[in-house]
A and B are shown apart, each in its own frame.
Chain A
Amino acid sequence: AQSVTQPDIHITVSEGASLELRCNYSYGATPYLFWYVQSPGQGLQLLLKYFSGDTLVQGIKGFEAEFKRSQSSFNLRKPSVHWSDAAEYFCAVGANTGTASKLTFGTGTRLQVTL
């Protein structure tokens, strides 16, 4: 069964500082990997995805993530955080086998940005 671990429940960074959010997954084959962001009271917005190919993927809002198969990780990074990045971030792993096309989400990391 697939699973996702986000080890950090809450992270605080200063505006302008760099950011790395950790995500570890468990999946038997090459996974589909996603990062979503959720602002308070809102739905989830897709930041970026990895399916295959280049292991460094670029997303919206200046985010990037790197797939490391040897570490079963898909960490999200941003070189300089803006106050508007304060939100909750979810990593997800996907399976697409037969009629199944399902995502398993991590429990999320809440990002606080101090000015």
Chain B
Amino acid sequence: DAGITQSPRHKVTETGTPVTLRCHQTENHRYMYWYRQDPGHGLRLIHYSYGVKDTDKGEVSDGYSVSRSKTEDFLLTLESATSSQTSVYFCAIRDRAYEQYFGPGTRLTVT
């Protein structure tokens, strides 16, 4: 157990509304990641962070922003949600052995 929690676990929102997902870790890992999982696509990296206030884009970053103001929290924001952002979102951390461990996921539905 890598001590990763995600909130909320489920959310339904309307098109055009802002949404923020939270990832919290308890073990002070430097690297944190946000992925989305969609059928037929596996997991795709949205954004990642390599330290407080240090973030970079992944392969599907359009429409998403992130923030990391403290080591334990990594926030993913959809500024104006669209139906194409309906997905399951996973947070992950990377430990010193270069292994990534995943949170339980957040199921987001945009109507």
* Interface bracket on B: 20 to 34
Residue of B nearest to A91 (CB): B42
What count of chain A residues pass the 8 Å CB interface test? Answer: 24
| Main SS at interface, chain A | strand
* Shortest CB distance A71–B (Å): 21
* Shortest CB distance A29–B (Å): 14
* A73 part of interface (Cβ distance < 8 Å): no
Q: Are A99 and B102 in contact (CB under 8 A)?
A: no
What B residues does A92 contact at CB under 8 A?
A: 43
Q: Given the known inter-chain contacts A44-B90, A101-B98, please indicate yes or no for A107 contacting B54, CB distance below 8 A.
A: no
What 1/0 mask marks residues of chain B from 83 to 111 whose CB sits below 8 Å from any chain A CB?
00000001000100011111111000000
Q: Are B94 and A101 in contact (CB under 8 A)?
A: yes
Given A43-B105, A51-B98: 8 more A-B contacts, CB < 8 Å: A42-B104, A44-B43, A46-B99, A90-B42, A101-B94, A105-B43, A105-B44, A108-B42
